[in-house]
Chains A and B, each alone.
Chain A
Amino acid sequence: MFVHVNKSTFLVKKLDDLILLHPEQTHSLSLPQIAKQILDAAIAGVSNVIATEDEICIQCEQENDEIIDSIANLEFSKEERTSKQLRLPIYFEEHVDTQRIEEHTKMGIDAYRNAILEQSYTLSMFGFVPGFLYMRGMPKVLWVPRKQSPSTQIEQGSIAVGGEFLGLYSLETPAGWNVIGKTPIRVLNLSDTPPTLIHPGDTITLEPIDEKEFKAISALSQNIIDYNA
């Protein structure tokens, strides 16, 4: 069974109270961007919409075929949400993961940091815990595999490399990615709806700051929208 959502065709799989959508053919929007449109349509009986790069999972209050019809009949405004271009400051701090990064990439840490700064990144998806960002845009030479077992707690605001993704940890959590630095800017506001200030499709460029600037910006307690205003 197939369903068409905003010019994309999806194969529909039902799993009890879950509806899983896998793309047959897509257009310019990513799955997390299409999933956001389904979520914002607030279809009756839908309790959650979760998206990764390869699947949209719709959790329903109960098994329900009408929800698939509702998704197929969603009307989308012609104007798609324009993606934002945002700057994010990064303080490259000495970290225990530096050695791992140098060993895997055969690059010195300064050259690695410069190469990281040259790229522009796209927010691909959310996941893991609130305010965690999966960003794409690293060339293969900069990829560093995730650790076999997660290390202990890392600081909130840490920016880390996990395989092909650049990640931002908004909360202090155990982490299995390789930390390269940290940002004093918040992208998460847990009490707001939506709780994130950045959305899939937005692009991010990193701006290097030193320790003094890190402390100065931290003291302002800015979020990414204020910082870019």
Chain B
Amino acid sequence: MLEFLRAGMYTSIQDRGRYGLAYYSIPQSGAMDLGALEMANMLAGNPKHAACFEFTLQGAKIRFHEETMIGLTGADMQWTLNGEEAGRFQSIHVQAGDILQGAYSIEGVRAYLAVQGRLDCPLHHGSYSFYTYGKTTPARIQQGDSIAIIRDRPLSHNYVNLMILLDHDAKEIKFTRGPEWDILTEDAKQSMQDSAFKISAQSNRMGARLEGNTLGWRPNTQTKTAPLVPGMIQLPPSGNPIVILQDGQTTGGYPRIGYIHTEELWKFNQIRYGREFRLILS
């Protein structure tokens, strides 16, 4: 069992997400940086897409009530185990009573903790990912929560060290033209590629608001409700784009001016709020 002595800013359980239900407006959810989740599972000796804890901007303080193997990846939350530095990207052996603690991230936004075994949480439509569902299921881990670990085989002590240095501070994000790209004025098309954007602090797992040059619509633009998937860039009349993210709505009424492909979106989801980056048309 793991006990959350402190929950962190926004901590949830995520896996690959749920698919086939967007028709019914159920978002896919899942890890914001799936590559980091996969690595964490490899370190902990888990199947590739086992459910992990996802931390946003700040780590949690966790007491382990049993011996296990863990893996930490993603953002650098300066993790410590019983006060000693706990390295990311390598397997860590923990004992009952050990305390893992994370601070504010100094690089990247989302960090992942994989624990060998299966986290005991409800399965909804093939996924353990948390999603608010309008408050009918838990959206996040709260202080005092305990999560049991279900293991169907003895602990495997297999140490992996990935010896990698990841840049979580991308300066460029590739995008392709969205279905309604042509509602942009010629100036806005240029501006979208030439100028710097920042992710607003008013962003969450549903969407990221971009700050930068406002983008203009052509006059007399008609808009209709259209399908949305994570990575779609919408343009509200304010002229500040919104990137739809993993828990985002499945349809929307604003023009879809661009699309950030899945693997680029994982990079995008690690860019810290307020840091400048550019959108590169590909």
A40 CA to B134 CA in the complex, in Å? Answer: 26
B280 vs chain A, min Cβ distance (A)? 14
A195 CA to B26 CA in the complex, in Å? Answer: 9
A189 vs chain B, min Cβ distance (A)? 11
Give the interface size bracket for A toward B.
35 or more
Chain A neighbourhood of B226, CB < 8 A? 52, 54-55, 57
Interface mask (B3-19 → A, CB under 8 Å = 1, otherwise 0)? 00000000000000001
B19 vs chain A, min Cβ distance (A)? 4
- CB atoms of A52 and B227 under 8 A apart: yes
Given contacts A16-B261, A127-B250, A129-B249, contact A59 B224 (CB under 8 A): no
Interface size on B (CB < 8 Å)?
30
Interface centre among B23, B28, B176, B178 (most CB of A within 10 A): B23
Interface mask (B225-238 → A, CB under 8 Å = 1, otherwise 0)? 11111000000000
- CB atoms of B23 and A52 under 8 A apart: no
B95 at the interface (CB under 8 A from A): no
B168 vs chain A, min Cβ distance (A)? 23
A39 at the interface (CB under 8 A from B): yes
Chain B neighbourhood of A35, CB < 8 A? 23
B195 at the interface (CB under 8 A from A): no
- CB atoms of B136 and A190 under 8 A apart: yes
Task: Enumerate B1-55 residues with CB–CB distance to A below 8 Å.
Answer: 19-26, 28
Given contacts A39-B20, A171-B136, contact A130 B227 (CB under 8 A): no
Task: Enumerate A9-43 residues with CB–CB distance to B below 8 Å.
Answer: 13, 15-18, 20, 35-36, 39, 42
Q: Which residue of A lies closest to B136 (CB)?
A: A190
Interface mask (A44-67 → B, CB under 8 Å = 1, otherwise 0)? 000111111111110100000000
Task: Enumerate A128-163 residues with CB–CB distance to B below 8 Å.
Answer: 128-132, 134, 156
Chain A neighbourhood of B228, CB < 8 A? 50
B217 vs chain A, min Cβ distance (A)? 16
- CB atoms of B229 and A57 under 8 A apart: yes
A17 CA to B259 CA in the complex, in Å? Answer: 10
The 9 closest A-B pairs by CB, nearest first: A171-B134, A127-B251, A57-B227, A50-B227, A48-B22, A47-B19, A16-B261, A126-B25, A50-B22
30 A–B pairs (Cβ distance < 8 Å), ordered by A: A13-B179, A16-B261, A17-B262, A36-B23, A39-B20, A47-B19, A47-B28, A48-B20, A50-B251, A51-B227, A52-B225, A52-B227, A53-B224, A54-B225, A57-B227, A59-B229, A125-B251, A126-B24, A126-B251, A127-B225, A127-B251, A128-B250, A171-B133, A171-B134, A171-B135, A172-B134, A172-B135, A173-B134, A195-B21, A195-B24
